[in-house]
A = this chain, B = another copy of it.
Amino acid sequence: MTGMQNKVEKKLKEKAVRPTAMRTLVLKFLLERGSAVSLTDLEDALDTADKSTLFRTLKTFEQNDLVHTIEDGSGKLKYALCTETCNSDTDHHHFHFTCQKCGETYCLPKQQMPKLDLPLNFSVLEVSLVLKGICAECN
């Protein structure tokens, strides 16, 4: 019963997600990891759990705004924790960074969406911005 455990279970209850053993495990992994994870990442890390269970766990987290999804061009959908500095759950602006060397994907801190030229009568509801380059670790 570590502090980590408590933090994890508190976070789950906060979002009205029943804290099963599986979910605690997955959320703990997400917290420790700090970057976005794919379903495959989870499968590899938590090899006791079944793929479908992990899949449904992530879906549950997503529905309850614990995580949001990112398409970073890797071909795998990634999931990242929603934090205070990430505005993905509130408005619909998604800013992410993918390192082309290590493959890690990070949420970028909340920031103003720059204005863009758009054809007439196009209306924007959502913005997804992925920066690709080299992260601090790999630089």
- A-to-B contact residues, CB < 8 Å: 71, 73, 95, 97, 100, 106, 108-109, 111, 114-136, 139
Contacts and interface: CB of A to CB of B under 8 A. Distances in A.
A132 B126 contact: yes
A97 B122 contact: yes
26 contacts: A95-B116, A97-B119, A100-B125, A100-B126, A106-B119, A108-B117, A108-B118, A108-B119, A111-B117, A114-B114, A120-B136, A121-B136, A122-B131, A122-B134, A122-B135, A123-B133, A123-B139, A125-B133, A125-B134, A126-B132, A126-B133, A127-B130, A128-B129, A128-B132, A129-B129, A129-B130
Copies in the complex: 2
Contacts of A130: 127-129
